[in-house]
Amino acid sequence: MKETMFAPIYGVWQRLPEAFGGRAWRWSVPILLLAAVLGGGDSGALVRDTLAEAYLQVSVFVAGTLMLLFAVERWFAVDLRERIAQARVGQVPIATALGMLPGCGGAIVVVTQFVNGRIGFGALVAVLIATMGDAAFLLIAAAPETAVVVFAVSGASAVLCGWAVEAIHGRDFLRHRRAEDDAPTTAVAGAGRPVPPVIDGLWAALWAIGVPFALLIAFQQDPNAWFGPWAAYQPATWLGFAGAMLAVTLWAGGLGEREAGTSGTYGEFSPLSNAGHGNGRGAASNVGPMAWVRCARTDTNFVTVWVIAAFLLFEFGVVFSGVDPEAWFAVVGPLAPLVGVLVGFIPGCGPQILLTTLYLSGAMPMSALLANAISNDGDALFPAIALAPKAAVLATAYSALPALAVGYAAFGLGY
C-alpha cells in the first residue's frame, strides 16, 4: 500500500531537476515533508503536527502583522519604510515598540528592515531585547499585571541598550547595503512566476480561517475542541498543515517573488513594500486588500520555511536525545536567571512558552522570567540567521547583557 502511495511521489521527485533546473533542491523540501506525513507512524504525525504548529503559532501572526502595516500605509498614504529609515534617533524606540507587540510579527518586520539596510544595528538589538514572542500571549492571559511589568522592563532595557550600541559602534555598524526599489532581485534564475489568483485566494482563505485557531493556541486552548465529535479528526491541525505546505510549496517554486508591485524576498526582503511604493506618496491608497495579501505572502512563506526547519530540529532532537525539556528548567537558587538567559538563546517560541508556563505554576522565579523575556528572540531570529548571521549572533550576545543584569537585580531583590 505504501509502495503504491509513494510511487507517484518518487516519480515527481525524479523529474524535478528536468522540470525545475537549479530549483530542484527547493522542491525536494515539500516533497520530503509530504512523504513523511503520508508515511504515517509516529514520525509522520510529528512532522504534521510540527508544520501545523509552525503555521498557526507563527506564520498566521507574521502575515497578520505585515498586512496590518500595509493597511496603515494605505490609509495614511505613508511609506513606512522611508519613515523608519529617516527616523535616525527614533529608530530604536520604533523598533522597541514593534518588538513589544505580542507574537513575533513586529520583530520580524524590524529584522527584515535591518537586512535591507534601512535601519541600524542598534535597532536590531533593541527589537530582539523587546520581543517576548508568543509567550507574551500566555503571560497576558494568565497574569496581566506581571505582563505589564515585564513589558515595561523589557522596553526600557531595549531602548537604553539600543542607544548604547549605537553610541559605541556608530549607526552604520554591520549595516547592510541598502536595497533600492528598482534593484534586481538575487533570487535564483527562473523565479518570480506570478501566483494564479486562485492560489492567492486559497492562501488568504487559509490565513483567515487560521486566525481564530491561532489565537486559541496563543492563549493555550485547543482549537480542535471546537469541533465536538469531529475533534478526533484534528481539523485545526490539518488546516495548519495545509497552510504550511502551501507556504513551503510557493517558496519552493519561487512563485510571486518578483511579481509586479512586490519585491523579491532574497534581494529585497521587505515586509514594508507594496505596489504603492515608488509611485508617489498617495499611490499606496490605491492598493486593495489582495495586494496586501500578495506582499505579505512572499515574506511569510520564507519565514515559515525557516520556522519549520527550526521546529523540526527541536522536536526530533528531543525525540532522539530522550531528554525531557522540563528537566532543563529543574533548577533553583542563583542559577535561575542564568537558565532564563540560556533558554532565551534557543531560537523559536516553544522553550520560552515552557519557561513562562513554569513561572505561572510557581516552578520558576520572576527573575528567571525577566531574564528570559529580555534574552529571547522568538521566531524573529530565523530570517536574521538566514540573511545576516553575523549580526544575528552578535545582537543575541548583546541581549544577554541586560538580561543578566536585570535578572540578577531582580533575584537580589527577592523576586
Could you list the pLDDT tens digit for every one of the 415 residues in the chain?
455 555 555 565 556 555 554 466 777 888 888 888 888 788 889 999 999 988 998 888 878 877 887 777 778 777 766 777 777 778 899 889 988 888 777 788 888 888 878 888 999 999 999 988 878 887 887 788 889 999 999 999 999 999 999 999 887 788 766 544 434 333 433 445 667 788 888 999 999 999 999 888 877 788 888 888 888 889 999 999 999 999 998 888 776 554 434 444 333 444 444 433 333 334 444 455 676 677 778 878 877 887 788 778 878 877 887 766 666 666 667 888 998 899 888 877 777 887 887 788 777 889 999 999 999 887 777 777 777 888 888 999 999 999 999 999 999 998 8
- Buried b or exposed e, range 320-332, using 16+ CB within 10 angstroms: eeeeeeeeebeee
Is residue 377 within 8 Å of residue 131, measured between CB atoms? yes
Share of the chain above pLDDT 70, in %: 77
Q: How many Cβ atoms sit within 10 Å of the Cβ of residue 282?
A: 11
Residue ranges of alpha helices (H) inside 187-254 are: 197-218, 235-253
DSSP state of 87: -
d(C-alpha 42, C-alpha 30), whole Å: 19
Is residue 35 within 8 Å of residue 227, measured between CB atoms? no
Angle at 216 between CA 212 and CA 220, to 5 degrees: 165
Is residue 60 within 8 Å of residue 242, measured between CB atoms? no
Residue 133, classed as helix, strand or coil, is strand
Concatenate the DSSP letters of all residues of 90-119 into one string: GHHHHHHHHHTSSBSHHHHHHHHHHHTTSS
SS3 content of the chain, % helix, strand, coil (to 5): 75, 0, 25
Query: Would you state the torsion angle of the CA atoms of residues 122, 123, 125, 129, taken in this order, to the nearest 10 degrees?
Result: 140
Is residue 334 within 8 Å of residue 277, measured between CB atoms? no
d(C-alpha 245, C-alpha 386), whole Å: 20
Q: What is the pTM of this model?
A: 0.69
Using the structure block, give the residue that is written with the C-alpha cell 504550511. Answer: 244
DSSP state of 177: P
Q: Which of 96, 99, 113, 256 is nearest to 163 (CA)?
A: 96
